[in-house]
């Protein structure tokens, strides 16, 4: 009986592990163009991506596979020069009216002005949870790592391994959290000059086109979405589901210090302090500890 139980446990762990997935580096194998393919390209050995925006069109890609929990990362070199009115988006999303979504959006600006990093989260189709930052480096001079870490406990947005935002799971208190829908990875470069730069006051200078964003090393260390069965498979606290381990339930003391530094020095907008926007009826998560 003991031997049978041991064998059953091996089969169970193997079944869980089968659903874990590592997608590493090859855009040509793991993603495809969903628009604008006529002037964008996958380069090198399939591990580099070039998205283009000009007067004819923007461009975008999406992952072939959807995921539920794990770590999604990308190296991005943003549009240089006068990028006002452009948005380079990098995000996770499900589909439908009640979709979930976790966003990085990089809002272009006039030459010499800093980029704005716009973060947001949608749960069951509801967003309006924006936080914005200005980067402490030139994101157009080289590639930088942008990571979304998502598990049943919290979501963390990282820039070069430094956390800038945390959204914790308070589902048990009636606050929606993305834990029931698999999400694909998307990235796009598009014209958003009706809102992106100074609220739409600064328009795209088309004489500077084409605008180009470059990508490397798309990596998804995440749980493969196989439908509703994945909710329990991907969220179970097993060794195969490394994202559920205690080490990922909360930022370390050092990471909390990094987060505080980023927010104290580089945050320029926080929906949780915009009392006028919400007429004093603040979203309930704003009263909860996030780290």
Q: Which residues are catalytic?
A: 101, 105
Residue 7: both structure tokens together: 């064998």
CB atoms within 10 A of CB 219: 18
End-to-end CA distance of the chain: 45
| Burial class of residue 256 (count of CB atoms within 10 Å of its CB; 0-12, 13-18, 19+) | middle
Cis ω on the peptide bond leading into residue 210 (within 30° of 0)?
yes
Contact 262, 133 (CB under 8 A): yes
Residue showing tokens 């104290």:
264
CB atoms within 10 A of CB 276: 7
Strands 48-53 vs 131-134: parallel, antiparallel or unpaired: unpaired
Secondary structure letter of residue 123 according to DSSP = B
């Amino acid at each position: 009986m003991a031997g049978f139980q041991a064998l059953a446990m091996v089969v169970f762990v193997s079944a869980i592990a089968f659903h874990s997935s590592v997608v590493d580096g090859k855009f040509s194998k793991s993603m495809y163009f969903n628009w604008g393919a006529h002037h964008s390209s996958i380069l090198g050995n399939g591990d580099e991506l070039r998205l283009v925006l000009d007067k004819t069109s923007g461009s975008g890609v999406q992952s072939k596979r959807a995921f539920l929990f794990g770590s999604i990362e990308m190296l991005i070199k943003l549009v240089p020069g006068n990028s006002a009115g452009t948005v380079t988006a990098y995000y996770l999303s499900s589909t439908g009216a009640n979709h979930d979504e976790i966003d990085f959006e990089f809002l272009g600006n006039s030459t010499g002005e800093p980029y704005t990093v716009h973060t947001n989260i949608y749960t069951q189709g509801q967003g309006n949870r924006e936080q914005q930052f200005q980067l402490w480096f030139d994101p157009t001079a080289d590639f930088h790592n942008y990571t979304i870490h998502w598990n049943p406990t919290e979501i963390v947005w990282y820039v070069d391994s430094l956390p800038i935002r945390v959204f914790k799971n308070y589902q048990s208190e009636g606050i929606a959290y993305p834990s029931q829908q698999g999400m694909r990875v998307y990235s796009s470069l598009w014209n958003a000059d009706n809102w992106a730069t100074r609220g739409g006051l600064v328009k795209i200078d088309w004489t500077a086109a084409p605008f180009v964003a470059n990508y490397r090393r798309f990596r998804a260390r995440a749980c493969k979405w196989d439908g509703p069965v994945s909710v329990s498979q991907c969220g179970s606290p097993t060794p195969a589901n490394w994202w559920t381990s205690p080490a990922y339930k909360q930022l370390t003391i050092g990471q909390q210090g990094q987060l505080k530094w980023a927010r104290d020095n580089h945050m320029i907008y926080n929906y949780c302090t915009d009392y006028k926007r919400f007429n004093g009826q603040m979203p309930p998560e704003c009263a909860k500890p996030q780290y």
